[in-house]
Amino acid sequence: MEFKDTGTLELKGQTGDLDKKLKDLNDNAKALRKTIKEIEENGGKGSENWKKYKQELKDTQQEAEKLSKSMKSMDVNKMTLQQLEQHTKALNKELKQLEPGTKAFIETSKRLGDVEKRLGAVRKEVTDIK
């Protein structure tokens, strides 16, 4: 029994870490895009410095994508309110880039429906407590 309690505690800790890591990656990507834009405005497009920041942005975006995929595999009933809101936003963004009728579009739509349903339930719970 003690092992199950420890496992649950670790999962919650990892979930919070996932949120922070994803936010940090998104903040970093935003800063990198700004830096790249400034370099381009100063005529540095194609320079070694520009290439370095472009690669760093690409790496950051790939890491954020991996974490987003981890969010997709999480049970929506174990997500925090913040995670549900972030996941809804990410799924909506992804859905806009998918071709309607494809398998990916249908799966993303179903996942979005599940997340929105859970988010509504959590918000209602918060309102009922007030």
Considering the domain architecture, whether residues 88 and 34 belong to the same structural domain is answered as no
What average pLDDT does the segment 87-91 reach? 88
Considering the domain architecture, whether residues 3 and 67 belong to the same structural domain is answered as yes
54-81: buried (b, 16+ CB within 10 Å) or exposed (e) per residue? beebeebbebbeebbeebeebebeebee
**pTM (two decimals):** 0.56
Note the pLDDT tens digit of each residue in 1-34.
333 333 333 334 455 667 678 778 888 988 999 9
Considering the domain architecture, whether residues 93 and 65 belong to the same structural domain is answered as no
For the chain, what is the domain count?
2
Full residue range of the structural domain in which residue 44 is found = 1-73
Q: Which amino acid is at 70?
A: S
Considering the domain architecture, whether residues 48 and 2 belong to the same structural domain is answered as yes
Given a contact cutoff of 8 angstroms between Cβ atoms, the answer to whether 91 and 112 are in contact is yes
Considering the domain architecture, whether residues 82 and 130 belong to the same structural domain is answered as yes
- pLDDT for 51 equals 93
Note the pLDDT tens digit of each residue in 34-87.
999 999 999 989 999 999 999 999 999 888 888 877 777 788 898 889 889 988
Report how far residue 112's alpha carbon sits from residue 36's, in angstroms, rounded to the nearest whole number: 33
